[in-house]
Amino acid sequence: MRDNRDVMARNICHYMEVKGVNATEVCKALDFKQNTFSDWCNGKTYPRIDAIEKMANYFGISKAFLV
């Protein structure tokens, strides 16, 4: 079974591709630190629920599609 961090990382990257944005644009729009967001995208750490909610709203999806 894949680690939750890996699943989250894959999903964040997928929805960035779908929306046609890069990490810098997401960080700027959502006021995330670049290093923190990079850790999420690389599966090093897992975002808190408030960050997951911000990303879901930004991508126009349910939180369930990220986790």
User: pLDDT by residue for the chain (67 residues), tens digit each?
Assistant: 468 999 999 999 999 999 999 999 999 999 999 999 999 999 999 999 999 999 999 999 999 999 9
Two structure tokens written together for 67:
């986790």
Can you tell me whether residue 28 is helix, strand or coil? helix
Phi-psi label, residue 63: left if phi above 0, alpha if psi -120 to 50, beta otherwise:
alpha
Q: Residues with Cβ < 8 Å from 2, sequence gap 6 or more?
A: none
DSSP element (H, E) containing 14: helix 4-19
Q: What is the pLDDT of residue 19?
A: 96
Give the integer Cα–Cα distance in Å for 67 and 65.
6
